[in-house]
Structure 1
Amino acid sequence: MLTFLTYDEEHHRIAVLNVPELADQQAGVAGVHHVAFTYGSLAELIGNYERAKELGIEPVWCTNHGPTTSLYYRDPDGNQLELQVENFDTIEESTRFFYSPEFAENPIGVDFDPSELVRRFHAGESEAGLKKRPHVGARRFDSTVKIV
């Protein structure tokens, strides 16, 4: 269903996803679902979110995948960008999460309201606490999950 590929210390550089019931790609069309950029801290990610929001640019999907807290944006051509921050301090911690029962139960993530994340951050909650993925139970890739 989901495979991660890497060539260095990053937990993944490429993710290959098998989505059931996905429509066939149109002939002659090639593309990439999205490209991700990692920020050094949650403060930097939130700062960029606030800057973009002031310009009228808002994410189309916000989710805590577990290993990352991610904001997905679309550019005017429909290309998708993921702006993220690592939730674990080491690659070993991230890798353990990928093999955990929690990830097996929910490989997608827990969606969140970015304005609520910003409010909690400015109220003084710790980055570690804000980046910890809440447990919401099962969430699987199927025809009801919208992959933006």
Structure 2
Amino acid sequence: MSSVKVLSPSKLAHVVLRTGRFQEMVDFYKKFLGAKASYENKFLSFLTYDEEHHRIAIVFKPGLNSRDEETAGMEHMAFTYDKLEDLFQAYKQRLEIGIKPVLCINHGPTMSIYYADVDGNEIETQVDSFDTAEAATKFMMGEAFDQNPIGVEFDPEEIMGRMAKGESVKSILKRPDTITGSKL
């Protein structure tokens, strides 16, 4: 085995999804991310929501089936919000347009709300629970994370109630020491 370390990229640029349900997928991601098309035709859509020319690309391939849980592939993609309030504002806005989460879990390093697109691909929306990557890594190297690397499920409505009562963000983000039966 070689001792050469490959130069790491500077960032993850985009994810490309192939689908047999092109317009449904394009509409879903535009709504889900608050995105717009930087380019779009009858079989290809480049979507952006920030400074990158596209973060999600959707390619139409007629005849494709939706994702099958029995085959290998990407588990999920994740998008980070800067603060807890933003994560839950987006949660409420998604509910208003009919997009409901499939799983809500406090992993410890992140508090995450998962969704599924029209093909069954999972999307994680998250907020970091620690101020630095080093602090998150330290938590992940600890005994509590080793005993439960998945996390603890939560009710987003209960979290919003705690926020409305003025509970501190730090307290809300702290993962309870409970084992979960999560599907992850």
How would you bin the TM-score normalised by the shorter chain? 0.7 to 0.9
Amino acid in structure 2 at the alignment position of 1:110? V
SS of equivalent residue, structure 2 residue 89 = helix
92 and 73 in structure 1: CA distance in 2 versus 1, 3 angstrom threshold = same
Give per-residue Cα distances to partners, 1:58-107, cap 9 Å, x unaligned. 11000000000000000111111000000000111101011101001111
Give per-residue Cα distances to partners, 1:22-43, cap 9 Å, x unaligned. xx954xxx63110000000001
Indicate the residue corresponding to 2:154 in structure 1: 112
Question: Using the alignment, how far apart are the partners of 2:167 and 2:9 within structure 1?
Answer: 32
Q: Which has the higher contact order (CA 8 A, sep 6+)?
A: 1
Question: Using the alignment, how far apart are the partners of 1:66 and 1:48 within structure 2?
Answer: 20
1:80 to 2:122 alignment: yes
Question: Using the alignment, how far apart are the partners of 1:50 and 1:130 within structure 2?
Answer: 18
Computing the radius of gyration from Cα coordinates, the structure with the larger value is 2
Give RMSD over aligned pairs.
2.3
Indicate the residue corresponding to 1:63 in structure 2: 105
User: 1:33-48 alignment to 2 at 5 Å?
Assistant: 33-48=75-90
Match for residue 137 of structure 2 among 83, 95, 98: 95
Q: TM-score, normalised by structure 1?
A: 0.74
Indicate the residue corresponding to 2:58 in structure 1: none
Give per-residue Cα distances to partners, 1:83-135, cap 9 Å, x unaligned. 00000001111010111010011111000001111111122111111100011
Flag structure 1 segments of 5+ consecutive residues without an equivalent: 1-6, 11-23
Determine what percentage of the aligned residue pairs are the same residue: 46
113 and 145 in structure 1: CA distance in 2 versus 1, 3 angstrom threshold = closer
- Runs of 4+ that moved beyond 6 A: none
1:146 to 2:183 alignment: yes
124 and 102 in structure 1: CA distance in 2 versus 1, 3 angstrom threshold = same
Indicate the residue corresponding to 1:51 in structure 2: 93
Flag structure 2 segments of 5+ consecutive residues without an equivalent: 1-7, 12-68
Amino acid in structure 1 at the alignment position of 2:79? F
CA contact under 8 A between 1:9 and 1:91: conserved in structure 2?
Answer: no
Aligned length: 120
SS of equivalent residue, structure 1 residue 129 = helix
